[in-house]
A and B are shown apart, each in its own frame.
Chain A
Amino acid sequence: MPPMRSGKGDDIEMIRSITQKKSEEEIDRLLNGLGRIFIIGCGTCVTLTRTGGEPEVLEMKGNLSEKGKMITGHTVVPVACDNLTREFLNDFGEQIEQADALLIMTCAFGVQTIAKQLKAMVVPALDTLFIGKETGFGMFDEICTQCGTCIIGETGGICPVTNCHKGLVNGPCGGTNHGKCEIDVAKDCVWTLIYNRLKELDRLDAMKKYQKPRNHQGEPKPGKFKLEAN
């Protein structure tokens, strides 16, 4: 068994939920008429992306207090999407009960977990952008959209469904330029990456193969999966 990697969370290269703070206007609108607020952050992904860790929770507390909100309490739960979050929040029972709403600075997994666990109105402070990985310091890239019909066996292990803006599976569109995407020069054209990779592997035949229209109902929404009984 390989040794477990240890150390701080941010040097473990795991999949993360990537979030972005909602605009101040939107948060104000969502909290309109709600005077007493309990704020919840999370020690995992949103701490890494600096959208819902301790510093951001404290900053939010300061901002909302200035706007006249009464902050009944705040905390950063270790892993908001974990079922143990309920136990962790038990310690804040009274502060949570006093609140008109919980302002939750976690990804939508965390918000929904907490909504299921507590009888309280939840308000997300973040938008969940995608599930991805840190690919450079402070840089996060989407890796998989969980489409249910994986085709990366024919694209050199690089996903065009996720990483082509249009999800094209037969090669690039005409908008690609110098290996970049037509919508943003900061985004790579995945078909240039796939081409380079397959060329390196001497498997360009895979790219030349016509791909039939995709099955967009591999797992019809909402996803549900049940292990079959033995």
Chain B
Amino acid sequence: MPTAFKEALNSGKFVVTSEVAPPKGTNLEKFSHHIEILKDKVDAMNVTDHQSSVMRYPSLGGCLLVKELGGEVILQMTCRDRNRLALQADLLFASSKGIQNVLCLTGDSIILGDHKEAKSVFDLDSSQLLETIRILESGKDLGGNELDGSVAFCAGAIVTPEADPIEPQLIKFEKKIEAGAEFIQTQAVYDLDKFKEFMNYASQFNAKILAGIILLTSAPMARFMNKNIAGVSVPQELIDEMASAPKGQALKKGIEIAGRMIKRIKEENMCDGVHIMAIGKEETVPDIMAEAGLL
């Protein structure tokens, strides 16, 4: 049976997903609060997997909580911390618990995180993880052994439409689709005319594309991303617009910009939906959706 998220992707509706980050520790109060706010508004929530290589409550545990609270969930899985045995075992566990949407990621470098001396794994890469999912679905494991009991997933991956240079990125993108990615979340896009160009290319593939929307919270935050986040480019007009917001109103301005962008993406039918990343400000996602005319 297809997952509710897969049904949404195939329904032709404008799909909205968002991200929720598990806590550093076992206090699940704020995390649960974010899930409660979002569960009836978005089509699915991504639970991040030690995002930026910062050790946190696990993605799988976070996914179980989303399920318990009645939300549709996407398990984020990076290849940084687990070898192929552990990745397959976690996929078996996820499927057995009804967690059947997976976003396959390579994972950030250990060096960028908060356990800088840890061993990084990268036994598989993101396209190999996608292939692994399809192999498990065929009833076998990566060692070619029969599985007792089946798994089924809706699997996806990411792409950076504004990567520079773009060509190596697109070769990888096509490998991910060939390896079985059914949906693609993009890195944050801000220049929608450029994004349209990317979609002219990407729409030839079967995978559903969800445009990445990162909420701008201030002009310095936008500048920080331009400087430090690969493939993210906030145009100067948007930075100026953020800077023009009256004191204390920057977040409101960021919500307005994000909502406006989503509205345009939907109105111009650029892609199949959006993936909203309101890093640390998940409670604003309904406001962004309202601004976009989606609620």
With A174-B163, A174-B187 as contacts: A195 and B109 at CB distance below 8 Å: no
Q: Are B165 and A182 in contact (CB under 8 A)?
A: no
Q: Are A210 and B178 in contact (CB under 8 A)?
A: yes
Q: CB-CB < 8 A to B230: which residues of A?
A: 174-177, 182
Report how far A216 CA is from B126 CA in the complex, Å. Answer: 17
Indicate the size class of the contact surface on chain B: 35 or more
Q: CB-CB < 8 A to A214: which residues of B?
A: 123
Cross-chain contact of B106 among A174, A183, A192 (Cβ < 8 A): A174
Q: Are A195 and B168 in contact (CB under 8 A)?
A: yes
- In chain B, positions 85-111 with a C-beta closer than 8 Å to chain A are 106-109, 111
With A167-B122, A174-B106 as contacts: A210 and B168 at CB distance below 8 Å: no
With A204-B171, A210-B175 as contacts: A169 and B163 at CB distance below 8 Å: no
- In chain A, positions 183-228 with a C-beta closer than 8 Å to chain B are 183, 189, 191-192, 194-195, 199, 204, 207-208, 210-214, 216
Asked if A110 CB lies within 8 Å of chain B CBs, one says: no
Q: Are A168 and B123 in contact (CB under 8 A)?
A: no
Asked if B137 CB lies within 8 Å of chain A CBs, one says: no
Asked if B128 CB lies within 8 Å of chain A CBs, one says: yes
Determine how close the nearest CB of chain A comes to the CB of B193; give it in whole angstroms: 21
Report how far A166 CA is from B120 CA in the complex, Å. Answer: 8
Asked if B160 CB lies within 8 Å of chain A CBs, one says: yes
15 pairs of residues in contact across A and B, judged by CB atoms under 8 Å:
A170-B127, A171-B127, A171-B168, A172-B168, A174-B160, A176-B163, A176-B168, A208-B171, A210-B179, A211-B128, A212-B128, A213-B84, A213-B123, A213-B132, A214-B123
Residues of A whose CB lies within 8 Å of any CB of B are 165-179, 182-183, 189, 191-192, 194-195, 199, 204, 207-208, 210-214, 216
Known: A199-B167, A216-B123. 10 other contacts (CB 8 A): A170-B175, A171-B169, A171-B175, A174-B159, A174-B169, A179-B165, A194-B168, A212-B128, A213-B123, A214-B123
